[in-house]
Every structure is written in structure tokens, then in C-alpha cells.
Amino acid sequence: MQNTIYEYEEIKEENYKELRTHIIDNSSLHQYFKLDWKILKARQYCGILNFDSQDFYILPKIANHNAEQNLNIFIYMLMYAYDVKLSNEQIASCANQEHSILEVFVQMFASNLLNELKKGLYKEYILEQDNLPVLKGKYLINENLKYNFTKDKIYCEYDEFTPNNSLNQFFLYSVKYLQKFVKDKKLSKQCELIFDEVEYRQFDMNKLENIHFNRQNQRFKKSFEIAILLLKQLIPNFKKDKKSFAFLFDMNILFEQFIARIFKELDNSVKIQNKNNFGDLTLKPDIILKNKIIDTKYKKLNSLNDIKQSDKLQVFSYGINYNIGNVMLLYPKHLENFSFDLVFGKDYKEVNLKIKTIDLDFGGNNYKDYISEIIKRVEKLNE
């Protein structure tokens, strides 16, 4: 694979001079890279960066600099963590650079949405107010006195069964926005045509409280979740009439969600915890089992000395406040597998800490085999 950059590695000027300038000149990209004394390094964000009609892949270092294998593993982790389905052909098209990972995800979203739209466009009752020639619904006395000086119209309030609702407006916004970044717009254009009675409006991804799911629209929830994933991870950058973008994922979050879903599949009682307050202390452990708390750390671990004191204190706080005496810090394998046992506290406030690594590498090129193998490795963590 050409144009491959690895997480935490320097982006050297002799190899990527124009790309370096592009990153340095665009503030929207600064949080994803580190510039220190003219040395530009990738952080822990992986995915694709498009610039000047070229795709630059930023990949995790899992398979010892085998670019195609690293890309496959990264895609497998995304598919499993976010429960999205890609075919082997789509995955292979990323490796041979026939399509970018963003294009594949957008096509998958549009195909998923189109399949549901063909079953019928979702409609719901919306409360409307309008001046009509005949009475419809409720007669609004005050509005009629205010707006109607003649008797040829009636101001009414009524329920309209319409496709012009928040969910469809969100989908229309999504398909129109995402098609800007892909070459093949056929599927998204087909979706757009079906929304011909839907009003176009823009959406803030942090303000979607008015979209709710019920028995009538539940079949659209997966398309909604995929759209949110795409829109939140996509970083557009328009400058001097040139279109560029980044589609990046924080490996800390991806690793946490990937491992959490595996534990959830192995044990339905697993809790993926929200923040809890213990007085002035706010805690959010990643995974809570019946008798163990697991906190994932996407960091290189070469020895016991690499474990930060703050991480030890964090898991000690989990054990004490949740009253669970066994905690685990779980890292991805870097050089070799590590397994350490530590004990914090004393007497009745004792916490047993296990420090372990999990190997995310796998020699095969099949998604199902990969997930099956990682599940087996996770099971062994409890042995």
C-alpha cells in the first residue's frame, strides 16, 4: 500500500512535504497530530486523510508494519465495535486502494438505508398550524382574530401524517452531505430522490434529542447509528476550492469499545458503565463484570515501569468505590505478552490488580475468523 503512515510515527518532510504543510496550515487537523520543534507526528488517531486527491492511510501498528494486514485488522475492529457489516470485496477494495475506507462506509450506509426505504418511507403525525379554506382539526380563535380579517380562510391546528419529520430530515441531510466526499453517488442519490417531500435542513450532531425510535421506525435505527458514526468522525476541510477531508478514529475509544463488546458477547451481565459520582469523585470504568472491573488502555507497554501511577490510582479507586476487589488493566500487546499481579491497600480495603496484554494481530484475512480468535484470547484473560 502506498501513502501509509503509522500511529505515533514521524511524518517526514522528505516523504510527505506537501502533506506536512497541509496539516500544519489547517487548525482543524491539529488535535490529531503533534508538532514539536518541526517534528510532525501522528497521534493515536487512525483512518484516512485525503489531500490533493490522494488518500493517506494512518494505521495502527498491530501487525509489525504489514500495511495490508494492519488495515484489515483496523477495519475488522471498526466493524465489530460499531456492529457494521462490510463484504470481503469491500474490505479488499480498501487494501488495493480501489475505494477508500470512507467510500466503503458511505456506500454501506446508503445501501442499508435504501433497503429500508424500499419497504416504505417512515411517516409520523406532526402537529401543524395553517390558514386553510376549510376547517381542519382545531379552530384557533386568537389566531383567526389576529390574521383573518375576512372570512374566506380559517386558522386551524391539526395532525398531519407526513414523511416530513425529524428522522427523514436527518437522513436527507446525511445523504446530501456524505455524497460530497465519494466518487460513486448512485446509492445516495437514489435515497435523496425518495425524500422528495422532505424538507432539507442542517443538523448539529450534538443536538439530536428530538429524534426518537419506536416500533414504527425501529428498522431505521441501524442506518441512523451508521450515519452518526460517519458524520462525527468525518473532518471536512475546504480551502482554495480544494476539497480535502479526514476520517479518523481515536484508537483509545475503538480499543475500549471493541474489547467491551467482546466481553458483552461472552457475558450478558457485563455493564458498559456510565459516569458515576462518589461524592466529589467521578468515576467511569470501562467494563464491569460480576466480580471484576476492567479498564482498557491503548498504550505501548514494554515493562511494568511503563504503567503510570495515575492509572494505578484510578483502578484502585474503582475497586474501593464499587466494592469490587479485583481489577484489571488491559493493554494491546506491543512487544510481548505481559502478566503482572499487584496488590494495593491493606486489610479490608485491599484491591488486587492484574495487568495483562492482548495480542490483536492475526495472520488470516477473514473477518469471522479474526473475531473468533480474539474472543478466544479474551476468554483466556480470565484464566
Tens place of pLDDT for every residue, the chain, 383 residues? 678 899 999 998 888 888 888 888 888 889 999 988 889 999 999 999 988 788 899 999 888 768 889 999 999 999 999 998 888 888 888 877 788 899 999 999 999 999 999 999 999 887 777 777 777 767 776 777 777 766 778 778 777 788 999 999 999 999 999 998 888 899 999 999 999 999 999 998 888 878 889 998 999 999 999 999 999 999 887 555 456 889 999 999 999 999 999 998 887 767 765 656 555 556 778 888 888 889 999 988 877 788 888 888 888 888 888 888 888 999 998 777 777 887 877 766 788 888 899 999 987 778 999 999 999 999 988 76
Q: Which of 135, 137, 84, 381 is nearest to 259 (CA)?
A: 381
- The whole-angstrom separation of Cα 63 and Cα 60 is 8
Query: How far apart (Å, rounded) are the C-alpha atoms in residues 302 and 300?
Result: 6
- Compute φ and ψ for 255, nearest 5 degrees: -60, -45
The letter for the amino acid at 228 is I
Q: What is the pLDDT of residue 241?
A: 47
Do residues 286 and 256 make contact, with C-beta atoms less than 8 angstroms apart?
A: yes
Q: Are 47 and 248 in contact (CB under 8 A)?
A: yes
**Residue 38 and residue 46 in contact, taking contact as beta carbons nearer than 8 Å:** no
**DSSP β-ladder status, 4-6 and 54-59:** parallel
Sign for the pseudo-dihedral over CA of 29, 35, 38, 39: negative
Task: For the chain, state the CA radius of gyration.
Answer: 26
- Angle at 232 (CA atoms; ends 289, 55), nearest 5 degrees: 110
Three-state secondary structure string covering the chain: CCCEEECCCECCHHHHHHHHHHHHHCHHHHHHEEEECCEEEECCEEEEEEECCEEEEEECCCCCCCHHHHHHHHHHHHHHHCCCCCCHHHHHHHHCCCCCHHHHHHHHHHHHHHHHHCCCCCCEEEEEEEEECCCCCEECHHHHHHHCCCCCCEEEEEEEEECCCHHHHHHHHHHHHHHHHCCCCHHHHHHHHHCCCCCCCCCCCCCCCCCCCCCCCHHHHHHHHHHHHHHHHEEEEEECCEEEEEEEEEHHHHHHHHHHHHHHHHCCCCEECCCEEECCEEECCCEECCCCEEEECCCCCCCHHHCCHHHHHHHHHHHHHCCCCEEEEEEECCCCCCEEEEEECCHHHCEEEEEEEECCCCCCCCHHHHHHHHHHHHHHHCC
Domains of the chain, by residue range, sit at 4-119+166-251, 124-162, 267-381
Between the alpha carbon of residue 1 and those of residues 18, 234, 365, the distances in Å are 19, 22, 16
Q: Which amino acid is at 61?
A: K
Q: pTM of the predicted model, to two decimals?
A: 0.86
Name the phi and psi angles at 359, rounded to 5: -80, 115
The CA-based dihedral angle spanning residues 326, 327, 331, 335, taken in that order and rounded to the nearest 10 degrees: -40
Are 91 and 74 in contact by the 8 Å Cβ rule? The answer is no
**What pLDDT does residue 205 have?**
84
Per-residue pLDDT, 323: 84
The rounded distance, in Å, linking the Cα atoms of 347 and 34 is 45
Distances (CA, A) of 90 to 46, 77, 199, 307: 19, 15, 33, 39
Per-residue 3-state assignment (H helix, E strand, C coil) for 331-381: EECCCCCCEEEEEECCHHHCEEEEEEEECCCCCCCCHHHHHHHHHHHHHHH
- Residues with Cβ < 8 Å from 311, sequence gap 6 or more? 295, 297, 329
Q: Which three cell numbers stand for residue 362?
A: 492475526
